[in-house]
């Protein structure tokens, strides 16, 4: 059983630089981008608003940027596979935003885990690995759109712990796991995060994942209980057209007094127009009006956003992608405003236009 996150492992395996019979494979990528913000703002953080989560990675406007460089090593030794997945650059630091305890080398670890195939149907994984929640991933070559959704930006990203995958058939499986908590390589309290997933393929070409995650992140006896219910699904309608959906029908934060909820949904329509060129549309609504998660306005209150993204995907060579993209975000703040223009005036919408170049191997 595999979530869409682990589609990356298939992607890098197909593109690995390796000897034919070698158990060791190397893969990786580097991406660079440029986005102009039509609100007339420029520089570091120009695409961000009040909370710092309006754009999760591509923060800078009107500036050539290197997003992320990745090097992934996989070694297979019988029934055990070891993975060391290192990332460097602006997006790598942002992806590890919670864990900043002393070691700069630790910030480079995106994944580092071992997986033991106990049988053909059962595997045990331990270490740091990507979350089971969500449709999009940190790795730019694996996503159709370059800029990331609000659902992705509000997490989770990764976990450190142990999980058990059981796949009795090709069309059904489930996963259970425990970990140190939300986006953390260390545990800051006694509580453990709980993760679960059910996978099914109702018909050929249709993959459906039902995900759950919960963790108490409270410190010094305080309560800070997060909870996600997540649906991730895609249907390959034809060889050249895919429909995807990511939805969080219920997310919540309970602080011991109140429960603040959020929800969101993103629809993906991706089509190949030629062998080398495709277009993808992402339409998303994310509602954090109660302020349960990160997206907030200038007064610190919750907000909601509707986003529309159009991305082209050009395969220049087998190892080089070009992704032109235009994105529009419209916010509905609870009290204040969300953004500013070049004159410092409050704004509640923004349009960005630009492109990314991605080399992968």
Q: H-type helices in the chain, by residue range?
A: 7-14, 90-95, 150-153
| Among 28-32, 231-235, 339-343, the least confident range | 339-343
pLDDT digits (tens, 9 = 90+) for 124-135: 999 999 999 999
- At residue 7, the pLDDT reads 46
Cα separation, 274 vs 272, whole angstroms = 6
Reported for 237-243, long-range contacts at CB under 8 A and 24+ positions apart, including other chains, are: 237/205, 239/272, 240/271, 240/272, 240/273, 241/269, 241/270, 241/271, 241/272, 242/268, 242/269, 242/270, 242/271, 243/267, 243/268, 243/269
Residue 5 has pLDDT above 80, yes or no: no
More confident residue, 33 or 220: 33
pLDDT digits (tens, 9 = 90+) for 267-278: 999 999 999 999
- At residue 8, the pLDDT reads 44
CB 329 within 8 A of CB 306: yes
- Which of 10-24, 40-54, 86-100, 229-243 has the highest mean predicted lDDT (pLDDT)? 229-243
Reported for 85-90, long-range contacts at CB under 8 A and 24+ positions apart, including other chains, are: 85/109, 85/110, 85/111, 85/112, 86/110, 87/138, 90/57, 90/59, 90/65, 90/66
**CATH for 4-360, among 2.40.160.10, 2.60.40.290, 3.40.190.10, 3.60.40.10?**
2.40.160.10
Is the omega angle on the peptide bond into residue 140 within 30 degrees of 0, that is, cis? no
pLDDT digits (tens, 9 = 90+) for 86-140: 998 878 777 765 444 555 677 788 999 999 999 999 999 999 999 999 999 999 9
For residue 52, what pLDDT band results from cuts at 50, 70 and 90? confident
Reported for 312-315, long-range contacts at CB under 8 A and 24+ positions apart, including other chains, are: 312/277, 312/278, 312/279, 312/280, 313/144, 313/277, 313/278, 313/279, 313/280, 314/276, 314/277, 315/275, 315/276, 315/277
Q: What share of the chain in percent tops pLDDT 90?
A: 70
Cα separation, 195 vs 109, whole angstroms = 21
Q: What is the mean pLDDT of residues 235-249?
A: 98
Where in the chain are the domains?
A: 4-360
- At residue 126, the pLDDT reads 98
- At residue 73, the pLDDT reads 97
- At residue 102, the pLDDT reads 52
């Amino acid at each position: 059983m595999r979530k869409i996150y682990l589609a990356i492992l298939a992607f890098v395996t197909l593109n690995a630089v390796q000897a034919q019979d070698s158990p060791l494979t190397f893969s990786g990528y580097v991406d660079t981008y440029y986005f102009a913000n039509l609100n007339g703002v420029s520089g570091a953080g120009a695409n961000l608003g009040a909370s710092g989560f309006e754009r999760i990675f591509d923060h800078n406007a009107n500036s050539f940027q290197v997003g992320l460089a990745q090097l992934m090593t996989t070694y297979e030794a019988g029934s055990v596979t070891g993975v060391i997945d290192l990332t460097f650059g602006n997006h790598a630091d942002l992806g590890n935003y919670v864990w900043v305890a002393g070691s700069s080398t630790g910030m480079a670890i995106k994944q580092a885990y071992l997986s033991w195939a106990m049988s053909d149907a059962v595997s045990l994984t331990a270490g740091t690995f990507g979350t089971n929640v969500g449709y999009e991933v940190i790795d730019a070559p694996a996503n159709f759109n370059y800029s990331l959704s609000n659902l992705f930006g509000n997490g989770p990203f990764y976990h450190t712990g142990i999980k058990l995958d059981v796949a009795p058939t090709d069309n059904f499986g489930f996963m259970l796991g425990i970990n140190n908590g939300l986006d953390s390589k260390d545990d800051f309290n006694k509580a453990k995060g709980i993760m679960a997933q059910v996978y099914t393929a109702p018909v050929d070409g249709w993959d459906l994942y039902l995900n759950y995650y919960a963790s108490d992140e409270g410190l010094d006896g305080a309560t800070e209980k997060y909870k996600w219910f997540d649906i991730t699904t895609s249907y390959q309608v034809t060889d050249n057209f895919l429909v995807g959906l990511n939805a969080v029908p219920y997310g919540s934060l309970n602080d011991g007094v109140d429960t603040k909820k959020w929800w969101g949904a993103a629809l993906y329509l991706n089509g190949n127009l030629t062998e080398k060129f495709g277009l993808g549309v992402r339409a998303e609504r994310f509602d954090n009006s109660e302020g349960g998660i990160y997206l907030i306005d200038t007064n610190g209150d919750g907000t909601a956003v509707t986003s529309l993204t159009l991305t082209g995907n050009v395969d220049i060579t087998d190892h080089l992608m070009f992704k032109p993209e235009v994105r529009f975000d419209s916010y509905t703040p609870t009290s204040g405003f969300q953004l500013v223009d070049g004159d410092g005036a409050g704004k509640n919408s923004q349009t960005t236009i630009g492109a990314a170049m991605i080399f992968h191997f």
